[in-house]
């Protein structure tokens, strides 16, 4: 499998810390794997092991058909990497940084120039192209770092938190770039703190915690594991809570929870939109006015919380708003 990523039993310790405690993962060629986990779970360490930047204590890894431990140089030539912390030369301009990467990959000067131009445009950096990157904001650096990873189009890409600190517009822009890349056949392993991003981009998701894989599957599979759908109702009058609760009991597949102060009732159901319509009719027949009603499915955030006991939270140390240094 020339474009696939395969890891088996990766272990990496730093003194007392067992950062990876036997990580297995498989990314079929041309697909996107979302690697999720709370801070310190081992995501960056996994990426560093797979990209030859760290040597695991034990385990094996094959990237793009090449044994990572036996042949790191060949692996390096077949992959692109964008790290959690942008690695750009502060004193070069954005354009120079991109051209330099092209030259490192032995592109002809003219081709490197053209590719740099294309990427500056794609990442909305044309206006800032001739400024030294030390004047860039955090979000601009991140975009430049991603552009640099894409100067050559390697069959396998690794992106460690590619959109942390990007504003919504630039996040969308990057998602589009990623989708185009993957539709062109690239295999991608990406870590992210934004579960919506994994939901949106990843074919498969692996959740790690304390250096272990604790869950894996498609977003839908993980959501199904966390529990099914619920009907949520907000009644207009507090006095109607009891009657509404009786109505919901008739439709529910479990206990109804009531948040008195919010006038909100929640009950697990099966039956989807059709059932929702029936609930609405019944509430109406009983003369219960509602402010809001909806069918809620578990989100990937719910999954993450139930698996790890943490709410996923992106760090804010590298934001678009950060003043130019
Ligand atoms: N070079 C190092 N020296 C010592 N400990 C390290 C080193 N790199 C990572 N660790 C430790 O290994 C564990 C995993 O770290 P890692 O950076 O892989 O986590 P992560 O999942 O990427 O977290 P984050 O979401 O914060 O980026 C942590 O306990 C971390 O402190
Ligand atoms: Mg990390």
pLDDT tens for 59-118 read: 999 999 999 999 999 998 889 888 766 677 889 999 999 999 888 888 899 999 999 999
Q: Is the CB of 44 under 6 A from ligand 1?
A: yes
Please compute the mean of the pLDDT values over residues 277-301 and round it to a whole number.
93
pLDDT in tens, 237-254: 999 999 999 999 999 988
Q: Which of 314, 15, 50, 21 is nearest to 162 (CA)?
A: 314
Q: Is the CB of 14 under 6 A from ligand 1?
A: yes
Atom of ligand 1 nearest to the CA of 54: 1
Q: Is the CB of 317 under 6 A from ligand 1?
A: no
pLDDT at 318 over 50: no
Q: In this predicted structure, what is the pLDDT of residue 314? A: 54
pLDDT at 319 over 50: no
pLDDT cut 90: percent of the chain above it: 64
In the chain, what is the greatest distance between 2 CA atoms, to the nearest angstrom?
A: 76
pLDDT at 174 over 80: yes
Q: Which of 324, 314, 320, 258 is nearest to 124 (CA)?
A: 320
If one compares 322 and 64, the residue with the highest pLDDT of the two is 64
Q: In this predicted structure, what is the pLDDT of residue 320? A: 45
pLDDT at 301 over 80: yes
For residue 167, give Cα distances in angstroms to 16, 107, 140, 293, 318: 37, 32, 10, 31, 11
Average pLDDT, the chain: 89
Q: Whose CA is nearest to atom 31 of ligand 1?
A: 40
Please compute the mean of the pLDDT values over residues 298-323 and round it to a whole number.
66
Which distant-in-sequence residues (6+ apart) come within 8 Å of 114 by Cβ?
none
Please compute the mean of the pLDDT values over residues 204-219 and round it to a whole number.
95
Distance between Cα 37 and ligand 1 center (Å): 12
**Strand arrangement of the beta sheet that strand 257-259 belongs to:** 257-259, 264-268, 230-235, 290-296
Q: In this predicted structure, what is the pLDDT of residue 12? A: 98
Most confident of the following: 87-101, 168-182, 273-287: 273-287
In terms of DSSP H, where are the helices of 123-230? 138-149, 168-183, 195-201, 219-226
Q: In this predicted structure, what is the pLDDT of residue 313? A: 63
Q: Whose CA is nearest to atom 29 of ligand 1?
A: 40
Q: In this predicted structure, what is the pLDDT of residue 270? A: 87
What is the chain's length? 325
pLDDT cut 70: percent of the chain above it: 94
CB-based contact 198:34 (threshold 8 Å) = yes
Q: In this predicted structure, what is the pLDDT of residue 97? A: 93
In the three-class reduction of DSSP (H, G, I as helix; E, B as strand; rest coil), residue 164 is classed as coil
In which element (H, E) is residue 52 found? Answer: none
Please compute the mean of the pLDDT values over residues 180-194 and round it to a whole number.
92
C-alpha–C-alpha distance, residues 117 and 65, integer Å? 32
pLDDT at 187 over 90: yes
pLDDT at 324 over 50: no
Hey, which residues does 73 pair with through a beta bridge? none
Tell me the pTM.
0.81
Q: In this predicted structure, what is the pLDDT of residue 88? A: 79
Q: Which ligand is nearest to the CA of 212?
A: 1
pLDDT at 305 over 90: no
Distance between Cα 264 and ligand 1 center (Å): 41
Q: Which ligand is nearest to the CA of 50?
A: 1
pLDDT at 323 over 50: no
For residue 76, give Cα distances in angstroms to 64, 69, 97, 191, 204: 10, 11, 19, 19, 24
CB-based contact 43:211 (threshold 8 Å) = no
- Distance spanning both ends of the chain, measured CA to CA: 44
Q: Is the CB of 43 under 6 A from ligand 1?
A: yes
Q: In this predicted structure, what is the pLDDT of residue 33? A: 98
Q: Whose CA is nearest to atom 30 of ligand 1?
A: 40
Atom of ligand 1 nearest to the CA of 41: 21
C-alpha–C-alpha distance, residues 210 and 17, integer Å? 10
């Amino acid at each position: 499998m020339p474009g696939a990523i395969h890891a088996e039993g990766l272990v990496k310790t730093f003194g007392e810390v067992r950062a990876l405690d036997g990580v297995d993962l498989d990314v079929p060629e041309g697909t996107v794997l979302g690697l999720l986990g709370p801070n310190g779970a081992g995501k960056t360490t996994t990426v560093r092991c797979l990209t030859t930047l760290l040597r695991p204590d034990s385990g094996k890894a094959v990237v793009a058909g090449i044994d990572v431990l036996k042949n790191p140089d060949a692996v390096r030539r077949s992959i692109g990497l964008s790290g959690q912390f942008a690695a750009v030369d502060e004193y070069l301009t954005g354009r120079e940084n991109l051209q330099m990467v092209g030259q490192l990959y032995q592109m002809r000067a003219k081709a490197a120039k053209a590719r740099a131009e294309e990427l500056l445009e794609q990442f909305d950096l044309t206006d800032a192209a001739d400024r030294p990157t030390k004047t860039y904001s955090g979000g601009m650096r991140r975009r430049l770092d991603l552009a640099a990873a894409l100067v050559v189009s390697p069959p396998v890409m690794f992106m460690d938190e590619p959109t942390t600190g990007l504003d919504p517009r630039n996040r969308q822009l990057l998602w589009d770039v990623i989708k185009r890349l993957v539709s062109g056949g690239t295999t991608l392993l990406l870590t992210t703190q934004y579960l919506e991003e994994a939901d949106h981009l990843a074919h498969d998701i692996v959740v790690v915690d304390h250096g272990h894989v604790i869950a894996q599957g498609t977003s839908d599979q993980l959501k199904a594991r966390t529990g099914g759908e619920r009907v949520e109702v907000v009644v207009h009058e507090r006095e109607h809570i009891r009657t509404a609760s009786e109505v919901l009991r008739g439709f529910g597949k479990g206990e109804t929870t009531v948040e008195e102060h919010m006038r909100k009732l929640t009950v697990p159901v099966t039956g989807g939109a059709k059932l929702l319509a029936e609930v609405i009719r019944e509430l109406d027949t009983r003369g219960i006015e509602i402010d809001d009603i909806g069918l809620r499915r578990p989100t990937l955030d719910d999954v993450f919380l139930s698996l790890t006991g943490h709410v996923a939270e992106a760090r804010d140390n590298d934001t678009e708003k950060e003043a130019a240094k």
